[in-house]
Amino acid sequence: MLKFIVKLHPEIAIKSKSVRKRFTKLLEKNIKMILLRRDEKVRVKNNWDNIAVETDISDAQTREWFIDNLKRVPGIVQFIEVQETPFETIDDIYQRTLELASHTIEGKTFCVRVKRNGNHDFTSSDVERYVGGGLNQNVEGAKVKLSKPDVTVKIEIKKDLAYIVTHTHYGIGGFPLPTQEDVLSLISGGFDSGVATYQMMRKGARTHFLFFNLGGAAHEIGVKQVSHYLWKQFSSTHKVKFITVDFEPVVAEILENVENGQMGVILKRMMMRAGAAVAEKVNAHALITGESVGQVSSQTLANLSVIDRVTETLILRPLIQHDKADIIKIAREIGTVEMAESMPEYCGVISQKPTVKAKMSNILEEEAKFDFDVLDTVIKNATVKDIREIEEEAKEEVKEAETVSELPENAVVLDIRSPEEEDANPLELEGVEVEHIPFFRLATKFGDLPQNKEYYLYCARGVMSQLQALILHENGYMNVKVYRP
């Protein structure tokens, strides 16, 4: 049997009794909903100060699956893996601890820490001294050290049961879904919007997706994949919407009628107008963006202030003070960095000298030249999908990029990983020609290659290869496939 004890987030534990009860009940429900996918007989019990998880399936694969999924449930900051054992004496506890923990403390310093709940003829300190002394005498190289030991052996005692902690795991923290109101994330598929979306999910907000399509099928497919990935990883206990708005007509109207330096700010204001209208349709209470102060010209404080005043809808920016390196680090941790790196960029409008201190009077003057019927039309024609449809739809859309696991003779493999990835783990295939062209140079370099050969794109997970293959197909290069060993 496998048993895990989910510790409550400290911010949940200090809330009022009614709020704490609601939060823990939602967390219990979400945990059970996830784990039932693996074990329909899993037991999840709310014990007020923790949530216990038990399964009779104890193979290594199931254990790893449970751990991986619990780590991604919003509201779980920490959970321990325990072995439950009944006892009559302290020596019973010691013998079981020796069996489970001896291999972890061999040749190391250690201490024993005990938490006890119930009526016993011994104290927590008694158990610590007895178990610690026994381990010190009977485990080779182990030495008790009460301050900053290499290993802390943890035991929890409740009534006539002892729980010996074998591993401690850490989750993403935050609050359970959906303890906060629904929000609408303006998702572009890049580093920033993906991380901002994740941050709102982990804070307990059911997060819908809004994509402004500025042109390009590859971009839309990529954004759908990123959105579905984020939902499946961190939010799959709840249904959300994926909304697409064709923004090309809006961009065309801006390019034709708006003064060059004001175009970037006005494009953002149009997006916020559209976002507010869509948010109302899906009952979302705030718009989420990945903007960070000073990162680009439209994200100065002056420009953000002008952008915000276009709507009364709350605009949240979880990354407002993050540096780009911080954002990329989080993207790597949550698994979106590769997809973000490969995402085609569609800037929509590029000002030669964009304003960094927009004035409301100038913006309103330029917006007076804009035909708002265009904006109303694209909002009206927005497509709304259940996020669960995206997976099958995405599979259909990328079918034209054939994937192979075995290479034919005379195959040429193009390693499209970044130089850092390639240097850290070079791809070497016996008898196969391998050429390294980073994904960000592929579009310009591929045409220089001999076109009488078949090329197989390789990357770590295959996502980048699929997107780049699709882009090359759109440009007329059909001699491209994906290599997934």
Write out the catalytic residue numbers.
459
Amino acid at 362: N
**Dist CA 204 CA 75 (whole Å):** 7
Burial grade of 399 (CB within 10 A; 0-12, 13-18, 19 or more): exposed
Give the chain's end-to-end CA distance (angstroms, integer).
35
Q: Do the annotations mark residue 186 as ligand-binding?
A: yes
* Burial per residue of 251-275, b for 16 or more beta-carbon CB atoms within 10 angstroms, e otherwise: bebbeeebeebbbbbbbbbbbbbbb
For 202, phi then psi, to 5°, come to -70, -15
Q: Do the annotations mark residue 334 as ligand-binding?
A: no
**Dist CA 280 CA 379 (whole Å):** 12
CB 342 within 8 A of CB 439: yes
Quickly count: other Cβ atoms within 10 Å of residue 85's Cβ. Answer: 17
What's the residue count for the chain? 485
Q: Do the annotations mark residue 299 as ligand-binding?
A: yes
Q: Which residues contact 234 (CB under 8 A, 6 or more apart)?
A: 72, 74, 172, 198, 201, 202, 334
Q: Do the annotations mark residue 268 as ligand-binding?
A: yes
CA proximity to 239, closest of 182, 186, 173, 171:
182
Encoding tokens for residue 33?
């909903």
Q: Do the annotations mark residue 187 as ligand-binding?
A: yes
Give binding residues for ATP as ranges. 186-187, 268, 290, 299
